[in-house]
Structure formats: structure tokens, C-alpha cells
Structure 1
């Protein structure tokens, strides 16, 4: 995340928009304090696809655990995913 003064932002607005299109977030400052943030638009289809893939991964993990005769709660599986264990 980049921080840029409003004066620089105004001079290079096209450059910062291009950066946001690539996924960057830009905090625009005024007198050294954050005044605004330029962020990329989130593609709703992409968000839904990520969610679908996450649930599929959890279902697969559940099946792997069952095959090993083990059980786990959804909360435990989510914690494992967040830890990068599977």
C-alpha cells in the first residue's frame, strides 16, 4: 500500500489508477494524514469463485479426514487452512 500526498496524486492520477487496476491500494494524504484511499474494484464473480473453491477445499479435507477415521469441526478445518497446514 502506497501513501502519496494529494498534490502528487493530482499530477499522476492516471498512473495511480493504472496501479489500482493491477491490485494496488493507494492512500492519499493531506498534510501527512490519510484523507482517502484508491482501491481496485472487486469483481463479484471472482469473490464468489474464491468462496466456492474454499468450500470445495474444506469438503475435500473433510473427506480425507473421514478416510483416515478422523473428524474435525468446520472451525478446526478453517483454522488449519488459515495456518497453511493443508
Structure 2
């Protein structure tokens, strides 16, 4: 863990972030007037959720899929079909 003052953090932010990204530092504590006030740390990896396209190849979309779009739009607008 590295401790830096506010001025040093502002001056060397890119270097500090690179140290976190590369794993050279696990966290950097930023102090103001000698008192720790903030922590710079890597973001936790988020698990990848369900992706679009997982059903690719599982069914065939008929050519007439869009054939009723106008009728459906009229129904949503409250108009008679």
C-alpha cells in the first residue's frame, strides 16, 4: 500500500492508476494534511452476465415475421384493425 499526499496524487494520477492496473500496487491511500481521505484501488471484476445471441441457431425466423406490423401498430394506437 502506497500513501501519497493530495498534491502528489494530482501530479502523478496517471502513474498511480498505471501502478494499480499493472498490479504493482494493490491500493494507494491519498491523504490531505497528513490525514487519509481516499483510496485508489482496482475495480472488482464483474462476472459476465447472459449475452445476447445465446439462442443463435436454435430457431428459424419466418420471412413473414414483419407482415403484421401495421395491424399491431393500429392495435397499440387503439384503432380498429
TM value normalised by structure 2? 0.52
Query: CA offset at residue 41 of structure 1?
Result: 1.2
CA deviations 1:25-80 (Å, max 9, x no partner) are 000000001010000111134xxxxxxxxxxxxxxxxxxxxxxxxxxxxxxxxxxx
Runs of 4+ in 1 over 6 A off after TM superposition: none
For residue 30 of structure 2, the aligned residue among 28, 31, 35 is: 28
Judging by fraction of residues, say which structure has more helix: 1
Count of residue pairs brought into register by the alignment: 45
In structure 2, runs of 5+ residues without a counterpart are 48-81
- Is 1:41 the counterpart of 2:23 in the alignment? no
Q: Superposition RMSD on alpha carbons, in Å?
A: 1.1
By relative contact order (CA 8 Å, sep 6+), the higher-ranking structure is: 2
Corresponding position of 2:3: 3
